Amino acid sequence: MFSHTVPSKLKVNLSQTNGFQHAVQGILLGAAILNLAVVIFLCFNHLWFPLHLDLMEGTVLQHVQQVVEGQPVYPAPTPAYVPLAYNPLYYVLSALFAKILGLNLVTLRLVAILGMLGSGIIIYRVVHEKTSSRWWGVIAAGLFAAAYRVMDMYLDTAHADSWFLFTALLGTYILDRTRSRGWNMVGVITLVAAFWFKQHGALFAVGGVLFLTWRDGLRQSFIYWIVITLLGPALYVLAGPLLFGAYFHYFTWVVPRAWSELNLGTLHRYLEFILRYYPVLAVSGTILSAWVVRRGRRKLTIWHVQFGFALLTGLMGTLDPGSSDNVYIPMGTWFIIMGVWGLYQFTERLAADQRYLTTLVALGLTFGLVAYDVRSTVVSFSAQANYDDLIATLNSLDGTVYAPTIGQLPGDFTFYPAAHWVALEDMIRGPGRDTADNPNTRKLLEPALNPSGAAHILSNFTLGDNPLLSFLTEYYVPDTDYGDRFEALRVLPKRFDHGWPRYLYRYAPKAARSEPAVLLASR
């Protein structure tokens, strides 16, 4: 028998290395778990908020109500309801939940949270499987949670973004795991569903089928091209108006097509966003993908292919200068998946002490870049009392009330008209277009311009600040500035901060005024 004694100096070095390794892993794991815990808290904190967390939640609720009542989602616009320019699958899915849980904002937010949860689980599983490490999987999920504010806080509000992301991830995940024709079909259909949640999902559907064609050959993949054609453009063109209303193509194609603007400002915003929040992950993911492409066919996966299409979704979203930063959610998610995977591949080639130092710096910097003040995302615990005060105030007013920044309430009081200013502006905005005093806007707000009796406007901003609605000052005069009285009902601050219900105006046509009106102090 031979005995082997480890030199004392080597023992010390090993001990130091292991200690540093455990410290690095513990620090980063703690950061990931903390961010996951924060997002879980925010979901509960936001779920029962009585007003709108996002500017458009009330209008989205109207869309779901149309589905529940069997009415077209995209009819001709009216003073009571103007459709938004998004595809309808989130409305349909939410309507199914609403029939069981009730038609309200809580249900719509719960649906969104389920999509976010599913996305987080897939992110964890993908990175866990690619790295054979639960630690790296938790880090990726934690980075996804940490980017909650960077993703403009759209993943737990009543919007399609979380389900657009979930179906894009799920379809990609299915295609990555199997060569079965049946499961491939399921994956392709799931990717097509991403398109029906948001138009940019078409890119992921094309990316998935392109990968199958490259991997399996055109002959084997021809059926998938037929499926995405039938369930995508064919269904959209031929059956869309029959299923969802006569103005389906107008609102989901004609309207958003007019927003695009490609210039230096577009590229600046796109690159600035990447460099501000995801520089490490962008470089890591790009190098990983480039390295795999050079290595050839055997190493290329669908995640590398979809990475390119995710970058394209971000660019296409940037073409609309008025878009919020939710247009970068898929791109940011692929940065996290591919960037973490790339960091793992890179650090595994380093010596132990260099590996963990590099990991700490790279991931620590990334967590730092997406960090945010959590207090800005927590809604006030006095929101319900504030909401009750708002409803009481509205009920005390004589006549109708139009709230262009709210649209319609989930209940308790009915605004009329209820056309949200964003939906009104979407129909007429675009490069070189003037939205001021537009005939279409005047037509849809006719009940507010010529009410049968007393009328008021309640707005988050002064009417003169918005060119679209400034003409209303010909008909309405300032009445009351409520100041911070309803501040607990403020919209979550995103790329744009839209404030809270504050300014009250009363109907007094310019021709009938005897003296200038002055906005009164809060009372």
Instruction: Give residue-wise pLDDT tens across range 113-136.
Output: 999 999 999 999 999 999 999 999
pLDDT at 373 over 70: yes
Residue at a domain's end among 316, 349, 376: 376
Q: Are residues 372 and 474 in the same domain?
A: no
The pLDDT value recorded for residue 2 is 40
Q: Are residues 370 and 403 in the same domain?
A: no
The pLDDT value recorded for residue 353 is 72
The pLDDT value recorded for residue 519 is 56
Please give the average per-residue pLDDT across 381-410, as a whole number. Answer: 95
Q: Are residues 406 and 354 in the same domain?
A: no
Q: Are residues 229 and 330 in the same domain?
A: yes
Is residue 167 one of the residues assigned to a domain?
yes
Q: Are residues 320 and 460 in the same domain?
A: no
Q: Are residues 473 and 341 in the same domain?
A: no
The pLDDT value recorded for residue 401 is 97
Is residue 522 one of the residues assigned to a domain?
no
Q: What is the tens place of the pLDDT at every residue in 197-244? A: 999 999 999 999 999 999 999 999 999 999 999 999 999 999 999 999
- Name the pLDDT band for 3 (thresholds 50, 70, 90): very low
Percent of the chain with pLDDT over 90: 84
pLDDT at 9 over 70: no
| Domain membership of residue 476 as a residue range | 383-512
Q: Are residues 407 and 270 in the same domain?
A: no
Contacts of 254 (CB under 8 A, 6+ apart): none
Distances (CA, A) of 87 to 159, 161, 244, 282, 388: 11, 11, 10, 29, 34
Please give the average per-residue pLDDT across 243-259, as a whole number. Answer: 97
Q: How many domains does the chain have?
A: 2
- Name the pLDDT band for 14 (thresholds 50, 70, 90): very low
Computed from CA positions of residues 96, 100, 103, 104, in that sequence, does the dihedral angle turn out positive or negative? Answer: negative
Q: Are residues 292 and 426 in the same domain?
A: no
- Name the pLDDT band for 196 (thresholds 50, 70, 90): very high
Q: Are residues 251 and 199 in the same domain?
A: yes
Angle between helices 89-101 and 57-68 (to 10 degrees): 70
Q: What is the dihedral of CA 49, 50, 52, 58, to 10 degrees?
A: 130
The pLDDT value recorded for residue 359 is 87
Is residue 1 one of the residues assigned to a domain?
no
Is residue 61 one of the residues assigned to a domain?
no
Q: Are residues 298 and 439 in the same domain?
A: no
The overall average pLDDT reported for the chain is: 92
pTM of the model: 0.93
Is residue 519 one of the residues assigned to a domain?
no
Is residue 335 one of the residues assigned to a domain?
yes
Percent of the chain with pLDDT over 70: 94
Q: Are residues 354 and 402 in the same domain?
A: no
Q: CA nearest 202: which of 220, 174, 228?
A: 228
- Name the pLDDT band for 515 (thresholds 50, 70, 90): low
The pLDDT value recorded for residue 352 is 73
Residue at a domain's end among 376, 397, 421: 376
Which amino acid makes up residue 352? Answer: A
- Name the pLDDT band for 513 (thresholds 50, 70, 90): low
Is residue 306 one of the residues assigned to a domain?
yes
Q: Are residues 249 and 159 in the same domain?
A: yes
The pLDDT value recorded for residue 358 is 87
Is residue 6 one of the residues assigned to a domain?
no
- How wide is the angle at C-alpha 160 spanned by C-alphas 130 and 333, nearest 5°? 25
Pair of tokens at residue 502: 């504050």
Please give the average per-residue pLDDT across 76-102, as a whole number. Answer: 97
Residue at a domain's end among 376, 408, 442: 376
